Structure 1
Amino acid sequence: MSELKFSAERFNQMPLVGIIRNISPEAIQQILPLYLEAGFTTIEITMNTPGVDAMIAQALEQYSDRLNVGAGTVCNTQDLKKALAAGAQFIVTPIIDKKVIRACAEQNIPIFPGAYTPTEIYRAWSLGATMVKVYPATALGPEYIKDVKAPLNQIKLMPTGGVNLANLASFLKAGADGFGIGSQLFDKKMIQEEDWQALKAHFEAFAKQYRAARNQ
């Protein structure tokens, strides 16, 4: 398990969690410096990405002074052990697993469990979630975040799935505390074509959009 701790201060500067899934280690080596230059501070590598253990360890080895590195798609305690052994500083799940949430809360490891309904969201929070990942947010949209926040304003919400440049500001205005962004941020075509300049500009557009929305 990593002795390097998650930096909440770093996360709060730019609470957008980039989700890396099925991207090659070679591509990640190209992507991470651009990601950091654009102002991002937190990255999630999913457990179903081939070579995830080495990717997490390498990202921390190179960028632990600037980057929070976590593991995503953690579905059970076996996944959790593997993620922590690799050095993951925070954990993201697609579902509510009581044992995973409790284990993280007991060890002071930030945990972002996936939930959908108000009942699931409240349960995840009650079990010790740092922030609840509202997933999939694609069909729900910003209004759903606003509706949930009305009675449950103490719960921190991180919509994931369907967050893009066009609706990022609306999600923030609706009360989102963070964002999980995968394919909308890591543009598949740009990565396949190794168009790193275009990808950097794409990252910068997201960072700029978030900062502008936050300052409104």
Structure 2
Amino acid sequence: MSNKKSFSWKLYNRAPIVGIVRGVSMGVMRDIANAYLKAGLHTIEITMNTAGATEIISKLRSEFNDLNVGAGTVCNMEDYERAVAAGAQFIVTPILDETVIKTAVAQGIPIFPGAYSPTEIYKAWSLGASAVKIFPATQLGVQFIKDISAPLNNIKLLPTGGVSLENIRSFFEAGAVGVGMGSSLFNKKLIKEGNFEGLSDHFAKVKAEVKGF
């Protein structure tokens, strides 16, 4: 995959949203990716516990030039190596695995490791994380992001879990540099109905909320 371009921060910064896709087939994935790009979103993560994840990552990489395609739920080096071999341009983890972070940093691959406590967040950042995924942000909410941002103001925070169309803006106002969104972004009902026009409109609404950040 070395002939392919690496992760584009320029594309990511146009809409600092990491869309998390879990348990979708490749056929549907193409329609989702088209709707995603149409709405002006560019960064998408396929979780490694999705059936055929590596194949989906490879296909998205070869078919969509304007997508940053990454791997999520990377828990260990085995997951990491499979993801990178498939062409993943960035790595997201639900937990803090030092070896995975150090390897990604050494290989120049952006990594967003999952952390929860101030100590974990600081540790992930000091190991070289591109941004720290605050996970799960569901219970912690916006206030936690504000509280963490005060003493750890240099650390880039990417809250994931519990981010919705209704509250996404408040996370950015609290100091987040991006968010991870799964089911609240990839509306299951619209996907099931094959309403990709509606899905693209939903994506566009979410993107509009972060305008100016």
SS of the aligned residue for 2:137 comes to: coil
Deviation string 1:53-94 (CA, Å, 9 cap, x unpaired) is: 111111111112x11100000000000000000000000000
Distance 1:162 1:189 in 2: 18
- Indicate the residue corresponding to 1:191 in structure 2: 191
- In the TM superposition, structure 1's runs of 4+ consecutive aligned residues that sit over 6 Å from their partners are none
Partner residue, 2:209 = 209
2: CA distance, partners of 1:168 / 1:196: 22
Q: In structure 2, what is the equivalent of residue 67 of structure 1?
A: 67
Write the letter of the residue equivalent to 1:20.
V
Kindly, what percent of the aligned residue pairs are identical?
54
Write the letter of the residue equivalent to 1:154: N
The 5 A counterparts of 1:97-116 are 97-116=97-116
Question: Residues of 1 paired with 2:209 and 2:149: CA distance?
Answer: 22
TM-score, L = length of structure 2: 0.97
What CA deviation, in whole Å up to 9, does each residue of 1:149-175 have, x standing for no partner? 000000000000000011111101000
| Deviation larger for 101-110 or 5-14 | 5-14
Amino acid at match of 1:152: L
The alpha carbon displacement at 1:127 in A equals 0.9
Partner residue in 2 for 1:83: 83
2:144 maps to 1:144:
yes
Partner residue, 2:159: 159
The answer for the alignment partner of 1:92 in structure 2 is 92
Whether 1:54 aligns to 2:55 is: yes
Structure 2: tracts of 5 or more residues without a match: none
The alpha carbon displacement at 1:4 in A equals: 2.5
TM-score between the two structures when normalised by the length of structure 1: 0.96
* 1:189 match: secondary structure: helix
Q: Distance in 1 between matches of 2:80 and 2:110?
A: 12
Residue 37 of structure 1 is matched in structure 2 by: 38
Q: Which residue type is aligned with residue 115 of structure 1?
A: A
Which consecutive residues of structure 1, in runs of 5 or more, have no partner in the other structure?
none
Greater shift, 193-202 or 139-148, is seen at 193-202
Q: Distance in 1 between matches of 2:72 and 2:144?
A: 23
